Amino acid sequence: MKKLINGVENIVDEMLDGMTAAYPQYVKRLEGLNVLVRAGGNPGKVALVSGGGSGHEPSHGGFVGRGMLDGAVAGEVFTSPTPDQVYEAVKAVNGGKGVLLIIKNYTGDVMNFEMAEEMAADEGITVDHVIVADDVAVENSTWTTGRRGIAGTVLVHKIAGACAESGAELADVKRVAEKVIANVRSMGMAVNACTVPAAGKPSFELAHDEIEIGIGIHGEPGTHREKISTVNNIADKLLEKIFAEGIYAAGDEVAVLVNGMGGTPLMELLVANKHVKAVVESRGLKVARTIVGNYMTSLDMEGFSVTLLKLDDELKKYLAAPADTPAFVQF
């Protein structure tokens, strides 16, 4: 295993310190905790907190800032953060208008974030949550009951964050977040698996001419393995499952996210996006916004996921709203 690290036991700690060193204008770290919060504090609005295991960078700390998250909690690599860490994040970002937790649908995340919500409620803090489950690849997995939360979570961060930034109340921010969740679908694939530093070997093995379809973001293998083909053919298979959901129809406006899994060159993501856009438009949909890059990764996994979000006027407004974070800037 070749990794640019100092020690397996220090990766998350040093990563968080490295982020605060790079972006002090955006984030600060709570002392002794794996929690990043806005450097300037809560500007008197509903606060948003998300997080999960590390290894998905720039998620989630990269989205702390104006127009997105107020706090991000980092567990160890591919491990849910503890309830205590989430609880401390909630206390730190609470500005009196309530806190919304954005949780990806993994058993450990759901359990620990909901426990933290109860702890905060006992302290008189108003907290609510939403659960993102956008992955169409599997209904249940080793890590989940129900569908997994993957790259579509980033669009929940963006749109719910813009709603909160506008001064909306907690119930309205939750409603908007749930509207995104109801209308977003994703599916991913891998050319090569990731290597978790503590394991020291790839999470699954692929032959030189094989790819994995339907992977998760924690190094999980997918639904099936097949021979590698053109990126157009691969994108077709991902989109076929997404369109099979039946929630997209001719005339709809959509946002497209072509998300890199961490080890895929931007060149290849852009080639994939060219075909994704053509296929989406061939079905009579209008692409109102395209986002391409690494947003919800799986360490050094080579591959990509496609996300479609059906938009209405409200979601389109919040998606286009300003945001200023280390990993997402839009003016």
Dump pLDDT digits (tens) for 210-258: 999 999 999 888 899 999 999 999 999 999 999 999 999 999 999 999 9
Say which CATH superfamily domain 183-330 falls into.
Dihydroxyacetone kinase; domain 2 (3.30.1180.20)
In which residue are the tokens 């964050």 written? Answer: 161
**pLDDT tens, 309-326?**
999 999 999 999 999 999
Give residue limits of the domains in the chain.
8-182, 183-330
The helix or strand, by DSSP H or E, that contains position 173, with its residue range, turns out to be: helix 170-183
pLDDT at 64: 98
Report how far Cα 149 is from the mean position of its chain's Cα atoms.
7
Going by C-alpha positions, the residue among 211, 186, 224, 218 that lies closest to residue 306 is 186
- At residue 142 the predicted structure's pLDDT band, cuts being 50, 70 and 90, is low
Above 90 in pLDDT, residue 141? no
- At residue 140 the predicted structure's pLDDT band, cuts being 50, 70 and 90, is low
Query: What is the Cα gyration radius of the chain?
Result: 19
Above 70 in pLDDT, residue 63? yes
Above 80 in pLDDT, residue 23? yes
Residue 34 · residue 81 · CB < 8 Å: yes
**pLDDT tens, 218-229?**
988 889 999 999
- At residue 144 the predicted structure's pLDDT band, cuts being 50, 70 and 90, is low
pLDDT at 280: 98
Strand residue runs (E) in 55-116: 71-77, 99-104
DSSP track, 266-322: HHHHHHHHHHHHHHHHHTT-EEEEEEEE-SS--TTBEEEEEEEEEE-HHHHHHHHS-
**pLDDT tens, 85-113?**
999 999 999 999 999 999 999 999 999 99
The third-level CATH classification (topology) of the domain covering 8-182 is Rossmann fold (3.40.50)
pLDDT at 143: 58
Catalytic residues, by residue number, are 56, 218
Q: Could you tell me what percent of the chain has a pLDDT over 90?
A: 95
When pLDDT is averaged across residues 18-29 and rounded to a whole number, the result is: 98
